[in-house]
């Protein structure tokens, strides 16, 4: 069953350490699923990446290997230990290896996983990072399946003739409804039971020894019967025409309430917690001593300069966007919004305007929710993965989201918030992803700043009555097609653009020498 995007699963989050949601945070989540699927102590972990994948060039510099091991050891995406997973695995006595090989064409963030358990059993899995920290396990012990981390799940090896009795016994221990799949791999059969509620303790007495129980790893649980009130810009406009005087932030809260099962008040509270996390990160000085980076901390430079065009408004945005990038590069806690590579555009703009205009927390929450709803449209109809559509899927998407947030702050109607987002997205088609030394710093900082000012400009254009011309649904469809048309070398592989300039090669060599 296809799940609708959640603002807190797919768009504003995860809360994380590291420089890439697709590679660092997603690897932690995959590691946690590996640990649960193993169902026993792991003795050896061997990962393989295809030579033409994004992981081939990013698995060291973006902490993929460390994050996988940290997840296997049970650490969360926001734990500082994520970047020390290899040392922790050594201390735990787990053997590991990582190899880049010619395997097969496919998704550019594919993890081929081979385990040896402490009891000698062998296990194989295949997992994907699909953008913004979201993951999928698509193969387990030769069975094709789908595990995304939003359900309570039980996987039970079974004989076909026994499955009905076993199913009846197992489901009696699961509160509420459940979804059951019977998967075949040759003569072998696997029962996959998914539920929104956890099974009770009786289930452990019913399960055969090699069965496993998975708990959700996402902030918002999945739905057995997926349902949301709208999923396109036009549907949002139609909804608002029937429900007058709603802001886009309020509409977003209604969407997320339907998607999550939480009340609107709980949705506001959850976004308020995100605001508090961002504020704590913003006010905690970045660690200036982390050396595996290209850029020093630079947010203070805008404060010291007396030559900033645009006055205090531009200075505030420049400072705040840079500050969040400084925090990310120094491995502080960030919120991917919608990704780690684009983590500073949206919160940088919102917090800068919050300070300049003395906005209260409720106004900040509504601005972030409005941005989140634009992100839902992008997640549903395009992607946040630079590996699939270049940096337009990251900084470009963030710019569209930030434009809606700015329009919300201006008090514009939902229709004009959507128009601002559409104009911002129209300006970023074809944005390449070509990071220097695969460090998500250069040109990522400049692209976040550019995306922020693009967002402000488009909100002002919408407020002044400029025509969007292309409505947001058509813009997102064209946005997706343009991004996927980029050559693979310009989609976060480090094989073209700025990544292969002589200076970039020198930087890569210098950082590798450390």
Q: Report the greatest alpha carbon distance in the chain.
A: 79
- CA 248 to chain CA mean position, Å: 22
Give the bridge partners for 47, in sequence order: 98, 113
- Provide the 3-class DSSP secondary structure of residue 215: coil
Q: Do the bridges between strand 152-158 and strand 188-195 make them parallel or antiparallel, or are there none, so unpaired?
A: antiparallel
Distances (CA, A) of 501 to 126, 233, 386, 395, 490: 34, 41, 20, 22, 13
Q: Which CATH class is domain 151-215?
A: alpha beta
Q: Which residues contact 244 (CB under 8 A, 6 or more apart)?
A: none
Predicted TM-score of the model (pTM)? 0.95
Q: Which residues contact 229 (CB under 8 A, 6 or more apart)?
A: 235, 239, 254, 255, 258
- Provide the 3-class DSSP secondary structure of residue 407: helix
Q: Model confidence over 391-402: pLDDT tens digits?
A: 999 999 999 999
Q: Model confidence over 455-507: pLDDT tens digits?
A: 999 999 999 999 999 999 999 999 999 999 999 999 999 999 999 999 999 99
Confidence class for position 306, pLDDT limits 50, 70, 90: confident
Containing 355, the helix (H) or strand (E) segment is helix 345-357
Cis previous bond, 472, omega within 30: no
> What ranges do the domains of the chain cover?
17-149, 151-215, 233-513
CA distance 322 to 330: 12
Q: Which residues contact 309 (CB under 8 A, 6 or more apart)?
A: none
Residue 303's CB is within 10 A of a number of other CB atoms, namely 11
Rg of the chain taking only CA atoms, in angstroms: 23
User: Do the two domains 17-149 and 233-513 of this chain adopt the same fold?
Assistant: no
The DSSP secondary structure of 430-473, one letter per residue, reads T--B--GGG-S-TTHHHHHHHHHHHHHHHHHHHHHT----S-HH
Distances (CA, A) of 100 to 49, 104, 421: 5, 12, 39
- Provide the 3-class DSSP secondary structure of residue 341: coil
Statement: residue 161 has pLDDT above 60: no
Q: Model confidence over 127-154: pLDDT tens digits?
A: 999 999 999 999 999 999 999 999 999 9
CA distance 209 to 490: 47
DSSP class of residue 220 equals S
CA distance 12 to 85: 25
Cis previous bond, 14, omega within 30: yes
Please report the pLDDT score of residue 167 as a whole number.
Answer: 65
Q: Which CATH class is domain 233-513?
A: mainly alpha
DSSP class of residue 120 equals S
471: burial class by Cβ within 10 Å (0-12, 13-18, 19+)? middle
As a whole number, mean pLDDT of residues 413-428 equals 98
**What's the fold here for domain 17-149?**
60s Ribosomal Protein L30; Chain: A; (3.30.1330)
Query: Of the spans 153-167, 292-306, 360-374, which averages the highest pLDDT?
Result: 360-374
The DSSP secondary structure of 43-58, one letter per residue, reads EEEEEEEETTSHHHHH
């Amino acid at each position: 069953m296809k799940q609708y995007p959640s603002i807190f699963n797919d768009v504003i989050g995860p809360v994380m350490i590291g420089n890439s949601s697709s590679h660092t945070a997603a690897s932690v989540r995959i590691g946690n699923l590996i640990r649960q699927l193993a169902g026993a102590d792991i003795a050896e972990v061997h990962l393989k990446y295809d030579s033409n994948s994004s992981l081939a060039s990013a698995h060291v510099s973006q902490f993929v290997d460390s994050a996988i091991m940290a997840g296997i050891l049970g650490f969360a995406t926001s734990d500082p230990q994520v970047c020390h997973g290899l040392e922790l695995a050594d201390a735990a006595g787990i053997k590991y290896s990582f190899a880049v090989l010619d395997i097969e064409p496919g998704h550019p963030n594919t993890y081929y996983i081979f385990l040896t358990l402490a009891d000698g059993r062998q296990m194989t899995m295949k997992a994907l990072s699909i953008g913004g920290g979201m993951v999928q396990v698509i193969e387990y012990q030769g069975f094709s399946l789908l595990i995304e981390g939003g359900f309570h799940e039980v996987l039970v090896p079974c004989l076909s003739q026994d499955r009905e009795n076993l199913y009846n016994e197992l489901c009696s221990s699961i509160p509420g409804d459940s979804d059951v799949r019977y998967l075949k791999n040759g003569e072998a059969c696997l029962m996959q039971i998914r539920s929104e509620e956890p099974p009770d303790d009786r289930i452990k007495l019913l399960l055969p020894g090699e069965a496993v129980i998975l708990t959700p790893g996402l902030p918002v649980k999945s739905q057995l019967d997926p349902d949301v009130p709208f999923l396109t810009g036009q549907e949002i406009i139609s909804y608002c025409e029937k429900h007058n005087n709603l802001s886009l932030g309020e509409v977003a809260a209604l969407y997320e309430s339907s998607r999550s099962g939480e009340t609107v008040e709980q949705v506001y509270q959850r976004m308020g917690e995100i605001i508090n996390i961002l504020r704590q990160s913003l006010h905690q000085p970045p660690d200036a001593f982390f050396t595996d980076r290209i850029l020093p901390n630079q947010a203070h430079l805008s404060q010291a300069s007396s030559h900033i065009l645009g006055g205090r408004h531009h200075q505030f945005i420049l400072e705040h966007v840079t500050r969040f990038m400084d925090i990310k590069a120094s491995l502080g806690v960030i919120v991917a919004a919608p990704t780690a590579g684009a983590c500073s555009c949206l919160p940088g703009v919102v917090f800068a305007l919050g300070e300049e205009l003395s906005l209260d927390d409720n106004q900040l929450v509504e601005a972030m929710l409005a941005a989140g709803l634009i992100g839902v449209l992008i997640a549903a109809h395009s992607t946040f993965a630079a590996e699939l559509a270049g940096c337009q899927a990251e900084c470009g998407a963030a710019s569209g989201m930030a434009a809606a947030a700015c329009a919300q702050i201006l008090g514009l109607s939902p229709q004009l918030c959507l128009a601002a987002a559409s104009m911002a997205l129209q300006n970023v088609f074809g944005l390449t992803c070509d990071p220097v030394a695969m460090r998500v710093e250069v040109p990522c900082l400049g692209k976040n700043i550019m995306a922020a000012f693009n967002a402000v400009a488009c909100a002002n254009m919408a407020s002044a009555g400029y025509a969007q011309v292309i409505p947001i649904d058509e813009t997102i469809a064209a946005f997706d097609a343009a991004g996927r048309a980029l050559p693979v070398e310009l989609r976060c592989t480090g094989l073209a653009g700025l990544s292969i300039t002589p200076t970039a090669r020198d930087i890569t060599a210098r950082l590798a020498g450390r």
